[in-house]
């Protein structure tokens, strides 16, 4: 999995996080495939916004309808960690409800803000490639699955056997050996 943000969109996320200090901010990433076209801040309605985030359900629902109407999709979510690393917390993992989305975390800890992207599925948290650049990244090559590897091996064996049979069928007939 991969996510591509142009620098202006990454800056928008960081600016949103800095404006909301000491609270966490949150928002939606809209785009197509791996390409983000827009980031939309969503109000954090958590009861303790300095510790957690909860997106306003009304705004989130409106965004789902808007993206569908515009032939786009919500491809990810973002939120900030004002004082910790850009790594999903236990609460982040427990509340992640969309397993096919990218979860971007903006960390304001330290001198320079940092972004990291994650895939969060039940029982599984994996870092995903976050590309921040003006030009679209080259697609990552997925490793071959076991079925694909077996299909390649079977194809090689069948091709070898076919060539062997073809070669044998093209041999001239054996000479007749006279019997004394």
Which residues participate in catalysis according to the annotation? 24
Per DSSP, what are the bridge partners of residue 76? 29, 102
Count how many residues are written for the chain: 180
Please answer whether residues 104 and 29 qualify as being in contact, where contact means their C-beta atoms are separated by less than 8 angstroms: yes
CA-angle at 101, arms to 65 and 122, nearest 5°: 120
DSSP assignment of 84-126: S-SS--HHHHHH---TTSEEEEEE--SSS-EEEEEEEETTEEE
Location of structure tokens 């679209």: 136
Tokens of 139: 């697609």
Q: Are 16 and 38 in contact (CB under 8 A)?
A: no
Distance CA 89, CA 81 (A): 9
């Amino acid at each position: 999995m991969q996510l591509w943000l142009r620098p202006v969109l990454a800056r928008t996320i960081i600016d949103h996080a800095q404006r909301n200090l000491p609270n966490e901010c949150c928002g939606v990433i809209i785009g197509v495939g791996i390409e983000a076209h827009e980031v939309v801040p969503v109000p954090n309605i958590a009861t303790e916004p300095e510790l957690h985030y909860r997106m306003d359900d009304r705004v989130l629902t409106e965004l789902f309808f808007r993206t569908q109407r515009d032939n786009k999709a919500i491809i990810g979510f973002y939120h900030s960690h004002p004082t910790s690393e850009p790594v999903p917390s236990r609460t982040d993992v427990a509340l992640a409800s969309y397993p096919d989305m990218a979860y971007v975390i903006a960390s304001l800890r330290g001198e320079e803000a940092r972004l990291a992207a994650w895939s969060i599925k039940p029982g599984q948290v994996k870092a995903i490639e976050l590309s921040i650049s003006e030009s679209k990244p080259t697609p990552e090559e997925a490793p071959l699955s076991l079925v694909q590897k077996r299909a390649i091996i079977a194809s090689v064996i069948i091709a070898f056997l076919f060539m062997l049979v073809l070669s044998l069928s093209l041999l001239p007939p054996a000479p007749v050996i006279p019997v004394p």
